[in-house]
Copies of this chain bind each other. A is one copy, B any other.
Amino acid sequence: MTQRVISAVVALAIFIPLLFIGGRPFDLMVAIIAIVAYYEILQMAKIPFPSWRGIIGLITMMLQLLPSYYLALLPQEIDYMTLYFAGLAMLLIIMVFKPEDINFEQVGVISLAALYVGRGFHLLIETRLMGLLPVIYVLIIIWGNDTFAYLVGRQIGRTPLAPKVSPNKTIEGSLGGIIGAFICSSIVLYFNNIFGISIMDNLILALILGFLGQMGDLVESSLKRTYEVKDSGNIMPGHGGFLDRFDSLLMVLPMFYFLIPFLGA
């Protein structure tokens, strides 16, 4: 437990200042987190990392991660989908020549890992480019969600939510989490609402993003269940891997980023 607290403090002492600074230092930190998270999925799936298929997957992931202004430097025909498909085609060609190393299912796993991690963290960089508040808003939703889900679930949790994937999660806890996300984000918006998000918008966002945050968490549990491991990694003593810490973000940010244009005045 002490170890858990220490590593959380160390991690936040790095993450929070870089989140405030933004720019290249923040992008670099996000890239490092993404690389570790990608590596953790490969390790769970027992795909050796210094391997052609692992490296092509890593490059595919990094190209998805890239802030969009880098793509503007390339011919306009090249979008994220083109880059993704190119990576996927290379994995398929490796499968042809090294069928003992990689089959169709593993091409699926590597390309899925590259997209899920790459796009999730890409949108963290893009959201930070819009400002500090949007990122803080999302983090507060996620943390409010997690905390209240835990507290409410422990008090009154009875009905299992997804018993095969995560036996301790309950529907009561899930609803408590969403209400907590709404309360916490309302407090943030009360003090600083540059988005012009109305209370009704915030309720809808808390519902959708809170639900997706819980799904992100369960996707990761499901991933661990598929590969029968306890933690995604051990980079943070007492916390498991980076993937364990950022799992909610990977589901929440794509939806939040998609909804941004529909928000505010």
Contacts and interface: CB of A to CB of B under 8 A. Distances in A.
A232 to B, nearest CB: 12
Interface stretch (A18-26, A78-86, A184-192, A237-245): A78-86
Interface string A107-128: 1111110011001000000000
B222 A104 contact: yes
A173 to B, nearest CB: 15
Interface stretch (A3-11, A87-95, A130-138): A87-95
Contacts of A226: 103-105
B79 A79 contact: yes
By DSSP majority rule, is chain A's interface helix, strand, loop, or mixed?
helix
Contacts of A88: 112, 115-116
A85 B223 contact: no
Number of copies: 2
B164 A100 contact: yes
Contact of A219 (B96, B219, B254): B96
Contact of A105 (B82, B96, B109): B109
A45 B223 CA distance: 20
A165 B254 contact: no
Interface in A136-183: 162, 164-165
Contact of A164 (B99, B107, B221, B254): B99
A103 B80 CA distance: 26
Given A79-B79, A112-B104, A165-B99, A119 B85 contact: yes
A17 interface: no
A69 interface: no
B223 A104 contact: yes
A32 to B, nearest CB: 23
Nearest to A41: B104
19 contacts: A45-B104, A75-B261, A78-B258, A79-B79, A79-B81, A88-B116, A89-B212, A89-B255, A92-B215, A92-B219, A96-B215, A99-B222, A104-B109, A104-B112, A105-B108, A105-B109, A105-B226, A108-B109, A108-B111
Interface of A: 45, 75, 77-82, 84-86, 88-89, 92-93, 95-97, 99-100, 103-112, 115-116, 119, 162, 164-165, 212, 215, 218-219, 221-223, 225-227, 251, 254-255, 258, 261
